[in-house]
Amino acid sequence: MRFHLAAIGASALLALVPACASNPASAAPRPSPAGTQRHQAPATLTAAPAADVRARAKQILGQPQRAPSRDEVRALGSAGYDEFWATWQSAAEPPSARARALTLAGWTGDGRALEALLAVARDAASPTVFRRAAIHGLPGAGADRAREPLGAFLAEISAEVRDAAARALGELQGPETRKLLESQLARETDLQVRSSLERSLKEQKPPP
């Protein structure tokens, strides 16, 4: 079963928690693309007490069937990142919740997120569900800085990891992204990964 964080360019974090328990390949959310169902982040949220922000982050984690907007998660800032990262690190949490928390940590845009997620995504000994979740958080964590490492994940042996990278690249624009996607599509043999590559290419804006 394939699941969109378009439904990582067009549906959102729905069903991440239930899905990954039964099918690790489907555990990656895909955020709504820029300009699609964007909601204004509460202006005072990042100035709220950290305890209140972390409580809001817990609320988002506790609603796996609801897709928060990227702006909503980014508004949580560093306190939200702390809550999501603590959930990821907690062995007491189910794998589905930990995977969801990983992706959301990236969506906060916190300065610590990029390297932290890359460490998980690059760990070949880590369960694929966690590697995929970390990859799906990279565009939110590093924007253009995520492009090169995402391109490197397209060369992974695991088709599930390649698929996650192909989907995540759909959130990044630019000729460099298009080149990565087209180059991988020319040699990709896995049908699911090819489908993700084609979808991400369609999400690229036409060159000026």
Distances, alpha carbon 139 to alpha carbons 47, 151, 166, in Å: 25, 12, 12
- Residue 78 one-letter amino acid: S
The string of pLDDT tens digits covering residues 26-38 is 444 454 444 333 3
User: Residue 12 and residue 74: Cα distance in Å, rounded?
Assistant: 15
Angle at 99 between CA 95 and CA 104, to 5 degrees: 145
Report whether 102 contacts 88 (CB < 8 A): yes
- The whole-number pLDDT of residue 185 equals 96
Tell me what the mean pLDDT of segment 115-134 comes to. Answer: 96
Task: Please give the pLDDT value at position 144.
Answer: 85
Comparing CA positions, the residue from 97, 95, 69, 96 lying closest to residue 83 is 97
Q: Identify the pLDDT of residue 4.
A: 36
| CA 192 to each of CA 34, 59, 78, 107, 159: distance values in angstroms, whole numbers, following the listed order | 24, 33, 35, 25, 8
Among 25-34, 66-75, 76-85, the range of highest mean pLDDT: 76-85
- CB contact set of 92 (below 8 Å; sequence gap of 6+): none
For the chain, the average pLDDT equals 82
Q: What percent of the chain has pLDDT over 90?
A: 68
pLDDT tens track for 128-166: 999 999 999 999 998 889 999 999 999 999 999 999 999
pLDDT digits (tens, 9 = 90+) for 158-187: 999 999 999 999 999 999 999 999 999 999
pTM: 0.78
Q: Phi/psi at 78 (nearest 5 deg)?
A: -65, -35
